[in-house]
Structure 1
Amino acid sequence: MKQVNIGGVPEHFNLAWYLSLKKGEYKNENINLRWHDYYGGTGEMCKALRDKQIDIAVILTEGIVTDIINGNPCKIVQTFVQTPLIWGIHVAHNSPYKTIEDLRGKKAAISRYGSGSHLMAFINAKNNNWNLENDLNFEVIKNLNGAIEGLTNQKADYFLWEKFTTKPLVDNETFRRIGNCPSPWPCFVIAARNEFIESNKKELQTILNIINNTTTAFKDIPRIDKTIANRYQQKLEDVKEWLSLTQWSQELIDKKTLNYVQNQLLALNIIPEMVDYKRLTHKL
């Protein structure tokens, strides 16, 4: 049986992987798919891909594009979630900041440099016409628990993270959300190490076929909203809203979209250059 290591964030977006693993669908195809949770998000997964700790990652589009251009020997093999990620802009509940403009020049908590929380802080700054050199400051906090500590103890002033994941922390008055910042592109893609793609095309295609069958019918799974609410400590009404806003994909991200992502990243000085579509993607 072929062992394959895959990583992703332990959030509701990836429940489809858990369900297909629980049903033993990969083992039925002689693949021992081992899921690894990455609480540190995109930056931590990029490192794991580089270090060959995982073969595949379900990862934020902007994060893996940036890391591939910076030398990570990987390629995007499919879009996973077609819709944008809605990033909530959070402050500590007792923070004096009330508006996004109040955060100009303040310190953003980020999981690590190159992470989604880091890159989206630039997108938010650009959206609000801030000076990208003078109005952005960062404090590395590693993960969501680090953000709770960092904002509560005033090591940092604000934090961007997926709106529905942090909603329980807003409800219990740990955080206060003062705005949203949707990613201007499909949020999650599936990326794999080049070496793994070359030597395991059949297994990779099988894995994609299984997860695509699951995501195609995901919203039709009986009581899926209640399953998500219970598993991720979410309110049922929030889960229903999230499901209504979220669309999975079974296709490879297109050239036009990736060029748009690169254009935005280049404008923000996050990447040094734009690269060819084929350097970023592999079509099975």
Structure 2
Amino acid sequence: MTTIKIAGVPEHFNLPWHLCIENDAFRNATIDLQWTNVPEGTGKMCQMLRNGETDIAVILTEGILKDITAGNPSKIIQVYVKSPLIWGIHVAGKSNFKTLKDLENTKIAISRLGSGSQLMAFVNAKNQGWNTTNLQFEIVNTIDGAVDALTNKTADYFMWERFMTKPFVDSGVFRKIADCPTPWPCFVIAVRNEILEKHPKAIDKILEIINHNTSKFKEILSIDKTVASRYNLKIEDIQDWLSFTEWSQDQLTEKEFANIQNQLFKLGIIEQKVNYTSAVKSI
């Protein structure tokens, strides 16, 4: 039995992994895949890959690419979700902010430095024509931390996946001002280089199993009810989410990689570019 540690956010996108684990799909292939939920998100998972706390991360594309250019000894081995992630831009339910324009030069709640919530703040600012050097951040770690920060006015807005934050919007804790989709595939699977060298067959088998599951995920009987129940979301929201979410079974192409890296460089999110082969595992 080969033990492999994997980390991901506790969100609906990752249900295929949990179903495979619960059904012993990996164990039957002599792989003990040990999942860790990371509510802090991508910045924390980048740190875990660097420290060897996890072997695999199901992680935001922009976050891991940024960290690989900064020396993270890992590679992207596949795109996991090829559709964009829809980031909701949220303010406190009782705040006076009404439009995106109102948020210029205000403070942004982010989970961690280098997280998707920080990087997408740059994307949104660029979209709005704001000066990105004026962006101010308040580290809040989790959604609950963002609730406290916006409620107590230590931060002014918070960007997070819109369906996971929708219960807070429905309850009036948050108010969503706008959406900001990622201009690239949202999730990839990244693996530490050491593990790629030590356990290449196990990694290939893990991909084979998860790809089989994601390719048929939407066909699972009553999957909308299952997702809604597991993540305490409304079934109509999950049906909406399923309608535009597309999983992938393919590697990030060199063209896609160049496009993403060029955008991150222009945004000032990365300071240097790296070669495709140093960041992405060849098939």
TM-score, normalising length from structure 1? 0.99
Mapped partners of 1:111, 1:152: distance in 2: 16
Mapped partners of 2:41, 2:83: distance in 1: 18
Deviates most, 4-13 or 262-271: 262-271
- 1:155-174 equivalent positions in 2, closer than 5 A: 155-174=154-173
Query: What is the aligned residue count?
Result: 283
* Local SS of the residue matching 2:105: coil
Mapped partners of 2:259, 2:123: distance in 1: 13
Per-residue CA distance 1:200-222 (angstroms, 9 max, x = gap): 11000000000000000000000
The equivalent residue for 1:43 is: 43
Deviates most, 189-198 or 269-278: 269-278
Mapped partners of 1:4, 1:268: distance in 2: 35
Q: Which amino acid aligns with 1:165?
A: M
- Show structure 1 runs of 4+ deviating over 2 A: none
The equivalent residue for 1:97 is: 97
**Superposed displacement of residue 260, structure 1:** 1.3
Determine whether 1:268 maps to 2:252: no
* Local SS of the residue matching 1:10: coil
Per-residue CA distance 1:54-111 (angstroms, 9 max, x = gap): 0000000000000000000000000000000000000000010000110000000000
Aligned-residue RMSD, C-alpha = 0.6
Mapped partners of 2:18, 2:145: distance in 1: 25
The equivalent residue for 1:150 is: 149
**Structure 2 alignment gaps of length 5 or more:** none
**Superposed displacement of residue 261, structure 1:** 1.1
Mapped partners of 1:195, 1:179: distance in 2: 41
Q: Which amino acid aligns with 1:169?
A: F
Determine whether 1:226 maps to 2:231: no
Deviates most, 201-210 or 273-282: 273-282
**Superposed displacement of residue 283, structure 1:** 2.5
- 1:7-46 equivalent positions in 2, closer than 5 A: 7-46=7-46
- 1:130-149 equivalent positions in 2, closer than 5 A: 130-134=130-134, 136-149=135-148
Q: Which amino acid aligns with 1:39?
A: P
**Structure 1 alignment gaps of length 5 or more:** none
**Superposed displacement of residue 48, structure 1:** 0.4
Mapped partners of 1:96, 1:212: distance in 2: 45
The equivalent residue for 1:117 is: 117
Per-residue CA distance 1:230-256 (angstroms, 9 max, x = gap): 111111110000000100000001111
Determine whether 1:128 maps to 2:128: yes
Q: Which amino acid aligns with 2:151?
A: T
Mapped partners of 1:260, 1:114: distance in 2: 20
Paired-residue identity, %? 53
* Local SS of the residue matching 1:205: helix
**Superposed displacement of residue 264, structure 1:** 1.3
Determine whether 1:208 maps to 2:195: no
